[in-house]
Amino acid sequence: MVHNHEQAQKESRKVKLANRQLQLSIKKVVKSCQDIGTRIASMETRFEELETEVRVATAQTASQGQQISDIQWKLEDAENRQRRNNLRILGIAEDLEGQDTRTYIASLFKKAFPDLMGWDWEKEVQRAH
């Protein structure tokens, strides 16, 4: 019976040691899970911040894209106007020109400058609006 009692004590010590080791392992796993939870929370916060930054950047990009389009149009218009000898004619009532403004303006020039009969006003007036 002593032998059984000693055997039982040995087994009891083994179980207690295994239990302590298991508890230490569980504590390590719990600590690791807590660390992972903290890291995930930090990453979620950073992800939300990045989403906000992306939304702002997207809105700014769209706005800047429209501004660039507007500026390109203005630049092209300015370049086109710079290349031509433009005349601005004031005092002509709206809608007198009918469907063909260019022809109407050419006929006005023919009447206004009869001394320049050799000019092909239809050709000289490239655009009218």
Please report, for residues 7, 63, 66, 85, 109, the alpha-carbon distance to residue 101 in angstroms, rounded to integers and kept in the order given.
117, 36, 32, 18, 12
| pLDDT tens per residue, range 27-53 | 999 999 999 999 999 999 999 999 999
Q: What is the pLDDT of residue 121?
A: 66
What distance in Å separates the CA atoms of residue 81 and residue 89, rounded to the nearest whole number?
Answer: 15
Q: Which of the residues in the chain have pLDDT under 50? A: none
